[in-house]
A and B are shown apart, each in its own frame.
Chain A
Amino acid sequence: MSTDDPACLDILRRLKSTDPPLWLAPNPSLSQQARTASLGLFSSLKPYTPQSPLDRLLIDGFDAEQIWQQIELQSHPLLSFLQREVKRFEKSGEISRFLAEEPQMKDILREAEDDQGRKEEEDVDGFDEDEAGASEDLDDDDEEEDGAEEEEKEDRDEVGDESESESGEEGDKGGIEDGFLKIKELEEYLQKDEAKKYGLEGSGKKKAGNKERRGIDEDESSEEGEEDDGDDDDEPGGFGVDDDEEEIENARYEDFFGGKRKKARRKPKVKDGSEEDVSEEEDGDDTENENEQGNHNLSTHEKELLSMKSKIEQMEKANLEPKTWTMQGEVTAAKRPKNSALEVDLDFEHNARPAPVITEEVTASLEDLIRKRIMEAHFDDVEKPPSLPGKGPREIKELDENKSKKGLAEIYEDEYAQKASLISAPSSFSDEQKKEATLLFKKLCLKLDALSHFHFAPKPVIEDMSIQANVPALAMEEIAPLAVSDAAMLAPEEVFSGKGNVKDESELTQADRKRRRAKKKRIHKAEEAKRMTTKSKLRTMPNPDEGKED
C-alpha cells in the first residue's frame, strides 16, 4: 500500500476532513484509519530508506507506541539526509527562483521565516519544553501533512495546544501570544539572564543559533514531518545508528555542551542569516569533537562536568592509596607520624567529673558560706558519742610506793591471822573513807525514806548488842514522824477501854436511852452520897493545928 494507492489517499483525505473535536475522544474507527494511512505512508517512503530493517509497518496487534517507534526507525536516517539536501538546496539558490515562480510558496516562506524568528527566541533552558512544543508542532505538522495520528497524542495533556496549533499556522503559537506576552521577548530575556548567571554569553547565543538552524530545518522538512531534533536530543542513543546521524548528534551536543571557537564564528553568520557555513561548521564540529580538551570557552555545564570528573579521579586515586592514620583502626604511636595526635581533635570519654573552674564567684560564694557559718556558730565538728551510762567507775587499787613500815614477817603474820580469821582485815585508807561515806548516806536515805511511806526500807540490821524492849513488832518497825501522821502506835482495840457492844447515840433505842439515864442517875446519886459522907467526916474530925500560933 502506498500513497499512490487511491484507497490510501482516500483514507488520508477522510482523516483530514474529520472534525477536530472528534480527535479528542478515543475513536476506534478513526484510529484504524490512521493506522492504515500510516502504513501507506510508510510503504511509500520505503524506497528512500534502503537500510531500514522494516519492510512494512506492522500494525496488527501493535499499540501506538510500537507503531510510533517503527516510524521513527524509518525516519531517523531520512531526516538527516533530508536536512542536508535542503541546505544544499538553499545554498544553491534554487529556492529563490522557485519562490519567485510560485506566490503560494512565498507565503509559506514568510511564515517559515516568522517561525524561524520565533524559534530563535525559544528558550534555551527549557529544552524539553521547547522541544516538546517543537515536537508538538512537528507532530501537528505531521498530522496536517500526512493526516496520520497516533493515539498517544490523544492521550497527551497538550491536546489543547495541538488543537491550537492545528487550527493555527506554524508561525502562530495559537492563542499564547498577545499584546502582553511576546514569546520572542521572553526568549531574549531568558537568554540574557542565563548569560549573566553562567557568564557565557556566547553559549546562549550558540544554542539560539542551533535552535534557529533546527527551526529552519523543521520548516524545510515540514513536509516529511519527521521527528524533531528535540527528540533526537532526548534520545541521544537513537535508533538509526548512522554516521550522519552521529555527526548531527555530536554537532548538536557540542553546540550545547562543547566549547567551540567556531561557534562564536557561527554566531555572527547565523545572525546575518547566511547559513552557508553551517554544513562546514558541522564538519568542523566533528573535528572539534576530537579536540575538545584545553578549550577555554567551555560552557558551565561542561566545566562542571570536568571538575566532577577530576574530583572523581582524585577520589578514586585516594581510595586506591592506603588510608590516613586517622581512618585506620587501632593506631600505635609508631604507626603515625610524630606529634600527629596533637593536630587531631581526639575524643575521649571522661568518666570523672571535670574539676571545677575556680572563679572569683566561686571563691566569693565559699567565703560567704564560711562567714555565715561562723556567725551562726554552726560548725561540723565531730562530737564524741555519749558514753553508755550504767558503768560505774572502776576501782583503782592504789599501789603504795613508800617503804613499808612493817617488816616482812609482820606482813605474813597479818596475812596468816586474816586467813585464820582471828583479826579482821585491816581496812585501807580508802575503805575507811568508804565506810564513813556509806554510813552517812545510809542515814540520809533513812530520813528520806521516812518521808514517803511507800518506799520505805527498814533499818539495816547491825550486829551489835542492843537491848530490845518486849513490845509488839509493830511498834518497832513502824516509824512515822508524829507531826505528819497521827496514826496511833496501838491498834484501836488496844486503845479502846470498854467492853460489850458499843452503840452510837443514833442507834440507841428508847429502852437503851432510859437505861443509860437510869444508870447515870444511879452513879450520880452514889457519888453525891459519898461526898456527903466525906464532908461530914471532915467536919467532925478535930483540927490538930487549932490552938497553935503561927
Chain B
Amino acid sequence: MESSDASMEVAVASSDPKSSSLPPKPSFAPLKAQDMYDGRVQFRKVSVPPHRYSPLKKSWMDIYTPVYEQMKIDIRMNLKSRKVELKTRADTPDVSNLQKCADFVQAFMMGFDVIDAIALLRLDELYLESFEIKDVKTLKGEHLSRAIGRLSGKGGKTKFAIENATKTRIVIADTKIHILGSFANIKVARNSLCSLILGSPAGKVYSKLRVVTSRLAERF
C-alpha cells in the first residue's frame, strides 16, 4: 500500500508543474441581445382577438410608446393577419425585453388595461394566470351564468374588492378568468375566485380576504 501511495504522490507531484502552463480562464462579457442568437433578429407575434381589435386601435399609441421608446423593441400591427408583431432592434439592451413586450401585448389582448399591463414591463415578478370556470367546477346553463355573476358581483364590486385587497388585476372573459399580479397575490385571488365559483357568498369571501391580506401586509 505504501509503495502505491508513494507512486501516487509521485504522480501528483509530477502533475503540479504542468498546471502552471495552462492558459488563463477565459472571461466573457455578457452577450448582447443580438449576439445571443448570433445576430439574428427575434420575432414575436401576438394574435389579436376580434373583440380586442377596436380597443387596440384606441390605445395603440399607449402600447407603442413604451414598447418602442423604453423597451427598444419594434412593434407593428399586421392588419392582414390580425397580429401584433414584435421584433428586436439592434440596440435592444436586454434579451428579455422582447419577451416582456410580448407578455405586455398578450396581457392587453387578454383584456387587461394598458396601465395595468404596463406593470408587466416595469416589474419582473408579475405573472399572468388563466384558468376556466370548468376547471374548478362543472357548471352548465343557469348555474354557470350565476357563477359568473357571483364572481363579478353587482357592478363588478366583488371583483374590484378582490383586486384592491390582493393588488391584482382580474379579467373575467365569459368562462375564462385571467389574473395579473405577483405570485402570492395571484394565489390569494385565485382562492377567492374559486370559492366564489364553488358557491360561497361574497361576504364570506370578503372576510377571508381581509384576514389574508392583513397577514400579507403584516409580513412586509
Contacts and interface: CB of A to CB of B under 8 A. Distances in A.
A397 B216 CA distance: 14
Most buried by B among A404, A407, A410, A419: A407
Contacts of A413: 122
Contacts of A478: none
B123 A409 contact: yes
A408 B169 contact: yes
Contacts of A403: 156, 160, 163
Contact of B119 (A400, A407, A419): A407
Nearest to A406: B115
B36 to A, nearest CB: 27
A248 B181 CA distance: 144
Nearest to A396: B210
Interface string B201-220: 00000100110011000001
Given A399-B206, A399-B209, A419-B220, A404 B118 contact: no
Interface residues of B, number: 30
A404 B163 contact: yes
A397 B214 contact: yes
Interface residues on A, range: 10 to 19
Given A407-B119, A408-B169, A412-B123, A402 B160 contact: yes
Contacts of B169: 408
A401 interface: yes
B163 A399 contact: no
Contacts of A404: 160, 163-164
Contacts, number: 63
B115 A409 contact: yes
A426 to B, nearest CB: 13
Interface in B147-200: 153, 156-158, 160-161, 163-165, 167-169, 180-182
B126 interface: yes
B116 interface: yes
B9 interface: no
Nearest to A397: B210
A408 B210 contact: no
A408 B181 contact: yes
A400 B126 CA distance: 22
A411 interface: yes
A419 B217 CA distance: 11
Most buried by B among A408, A410, A411: A408
Contact of A411 (B113, B160, B167, B210): B167
Interface string B114-143: 011011011100100000000000000000
A397 B210 CA distance: 7
Interface in B62-113: 113
A406 to B, nearest CB: 8
B116 A408 contact: yes
Contacts of B209: 399
A24 B34 CA distance: 175
List 3 tightest A-B contacts by C-beta distance, closest first: A407-B115, A409-B119, A401-B157
21 contacts: A396-B210, A397-B213, A397-B214, A399-B161, A399-B209, A401-B153, A401-B164, A402-B164, A403-B156, A407-B115, A407-B118, A407-B119, A408-B115, A408-B118, A408-B119, A408-B168, A408-B181, A409-B115, A409-B118, A412-B119, A419-B220
